[in-house]
Structure 1
């Protein structure tokens, strides 16, 4: 793939970071922690960091008004290929049940595709690529390749053992590990790549000591952490998606309802512990989605138990149609949330009138309410 997404600042920072490998390893192979690689890429390329959102992509890059989803990978590769993790299906793995190896491969492939499509809808992604930084003795090799959906119609099983299932779709090779519930993909270093020679500093600690005065004299200004809460997309009382409320409010009994009638539950835990987070009941505020839609929202219903939009169809279009890919009249279920790896959302308070909504990792509300 030509026209790598790199610039001079990115290359220099990679080189500097890798030269400090002696802080962590005695190897001649540069050490680069994957979180550092993600943060470095987003800083230098002015990309949005998605790595904490637990979606199929690690970064969102806007180039000439086109949103590009980036899968960032860094790994040691002394040969011409390496098998690397691309997805985990901890919640969903129990549904991968079939005695037919090809059918099992198709189930796994479909789940992978659904996660990719979910992330594309969420961020308005039009193109997707892998950006790879591979490491070998005193060198980094950077290349990119297409971030493909798995072609389910072209799947062939290449190997099946008690521990794993390997298959190909005529574009890429994959291996699913049963015990780890993890899907791996084979990455092949192409003939054309960008090479960065790395000279690892033999005494990096002296360099750190020389920075001491600079660090002490610099003002330690930290940006205030924006307040956040996590809201579940399911009923916390029943640990399930209710058929007649919440995401399925449109299906409630009684009066005739619009198929777009929906709300996100706000549990009592939120009001009891974060009483000043949301505006008062029925007071409108802006709610910004990850793809920069601005919804008019408010807290409403008895006991301020619901987060809704005005019109209600705005939240339904974003949450039910765009993210969960549900048709009108199709019930949201816990199984659907598991498939999309999304049972919660994060609400960030920017100011008293503006809030952001983002996907949270699966199980995030349980973790948040137990802290």
Structure 2
């Protein structure tokens, strides 16, 4: 487990932060059960334990530290025995729709998808072990406990019970339930061996916060630090909605010159350059930047393929894609490490959907450093829609 192996001072800091945030519950409700927004729980955990926050990406883990991935859950304690969501499979509906008629085949398929996602999370972030860290909430306290985040033991699946809108099953380790209409997999969590943390909820948190800000003469605007600028890029062609056979992730399969079997690039649609003209550097010889991967490795990268835009009255070659130098390094990471496809196999959009990703988020730290992480299916279109709004 994670918590018991952390320094005492970090554990105490974690408990203190949880108490503070729980004490502000009357900002949101008048219930005697402390409120804990899941994003706050993630940020508190990462701050207290100096862990990597993975929640912005599409990962089965919300945080990582020292090769351990942690799935963070917060929920109301329901008699110490509650089903909680652990995965969604909305984009896989077309693939499994016909299997629902046969519950055994259907559950096996869903279990395979779940295991693939866990495996891709471990590879992407260089994780050896996965655990759940849970904060259950009940009257005036938090209950903290942990358990392993296991792969579903497909060979031991039994007790499959179909109902009109769900199918329950277990694998002799955990109990699961798949909600058909929501395409969501749930797992039963048992609040055993918990650490109890008493929470004193402030009667008037508004007045307490007012006094703090008045005493410190805090300037909200001056002290605000904006987050890093970011864009989301598709791993597929936005024209066809598919992965092209001879470009993008299949650039190695393009006609013409001889290419390395791992040669790829990530498409950068024109709309990204138009709205963020200075986000990426120009596609010019000698201009490169550091691309930081989720696993801690750093690649040299640059823009590729000519694509000209008028910026400040001048034609600037911004490029149609993002590639590594040498270009095979990015392909080794995506094609072999993440997708785990053999050399010479053409990537399809269905392969991306199978592990729940079809986009990447690129964050600009400064002109020489960018970070990249995978995003769930449809993230690119959601991003573009938000820009249009």
- Fold similarity call, TM over 0.5: yes
Corresponding residue number in structure 2 for 1:92: 92
Corresponding residue number in structure 2 for 1:134: 136
Corresponding residue number in structure 1 for 2:310: none
Q: Is the alpha carbon distance of 1:83 and 1:300 closer, same or farther for their aligned partners in structure 2, counting shifts above 3 Å?
A: same
Q: Is the 8 A contact 1:59 1:71 kept in 2?
A: yes
**1:215 shift after superposition:** 5.4
Q: Is the 8 A contact 2:58 2:357 kept in 1?
A: no
1:188 to 190, 194, 204: 190
**1:224 shift after superposition:** 3.9
Q: In angstroms, what is the RMSD of aligned CA positions?
A: 1.8
State how 1:158-169 maps to structure 2 within 5 Å.
Answer: 158-169=160-171
Q: Is the 8 A contact 2:70 2:133 kept in 1?
A: yes
Could you state the TM-score of these two structures normalised by the residue count of structure 1? 0.93
**1:189 shift after superposition:** 1.5
2:358 to 333, 343, 354: 343
**1:108 shift after superposition:** 0.7
Corresponding residue number in structure 2 for 1:310: 325
**1:227 shift after superposition:** 2.3
Q: Is the 8 A contact 1:129 1:145 kept in 2?
A: yes
**1:43 shift after superposition:** 1.2
Give the whole-Å Cα distance in 1 for the aligned partners of 2:305 and 2:219.
50
State how 1:13-162 maps to structure 2 within 5 Å.
Answer: 13-62=17-66, 67-96=67-96, 97-98=98-99, 99-162=101-164
Q: Which moved more, 1:236-245 or 1:254-263?
A: 254-263
**1:198 shift after superposition:** 2.0
Corresponding residue number in structure 1 for 2:292: 288
1:300 to 287, 299, 304: 304
**1:314 shift after superposition:** 0.6
Q: Is the 8 A contact 1:81 1:187 kept in 2?
A: yes
Q: Is the 8 A contact 2:104 2:160 kept in 1?
A: no
Could you state the TM-score of these two structures normalised by the residue count of structure 2? 0.89
Corresponding residue number in structure 1 for 2:371: 356
Q: Is the 8 A contact 2:27 2:206 kept in 1?
A: yes
Aligned residues: 366
Q: Which moved more, 1:201-210 or 1:130-139?
A: 201-210
Q: Which consecutive residues of structure 1, in runs of 5 or more, have no partner in the other structure?
A: none
Residue 265 of structure 2 is aligned to residue 267 of structure 1: no
Q: Is the alpha carbon distance of 1:355 and 1:199 closer, same or farther for their aligned partners in structure 2, counting shifts above 3 Å?
A: closer
Q: Is the 8 A contact 1:138 1:197 kept in 2?
A: yes
SS in structure 1 of the partner of residue 334 of structure 2: helix
Corresponding residue number in structure 1 for 2:214: 213
Give the whole-Å Cα distance in 1 for the aligned partners of 2:32 and 2:46.
26
Q: Is the 8 A contact 2:103 2:160 kept in 1?
A: no
Corresponding residue number in structure 1 for 2:346: 331
Q: Which consecutive residues of structure 2, in runs of 5 or more, have no partner in the other structure?
A: 308-318
Give the whole-Å Cα distance in 1 for the aligned partners of 2:29 and 2:272.
45
SS in structure 1 of the partner of residue 333 of structure 2: helix
Give the whole-Å Cα distance in 2 for the aligned partners of 1:15 and 1:241.
48
**1:266 shift after superposition:** 1.6
Q: Is the 8 A contact 1:101 1:157 kept in 2?
A: no
**1:297 shift after superposition:** 1.2
Residue 228 of structure 2 is aligned to residue 226 of structure 1: yes
Q: Is the 8 A contact 1:105 1:157 kept in 2?
A: no
**1:218 shift after superposition:** 5.0
SS in structure 2 of the partner of residue 258 of structure 1: coil
Q: Is the 8 A contact 2:26 2:201 kept in 1?
A: yes
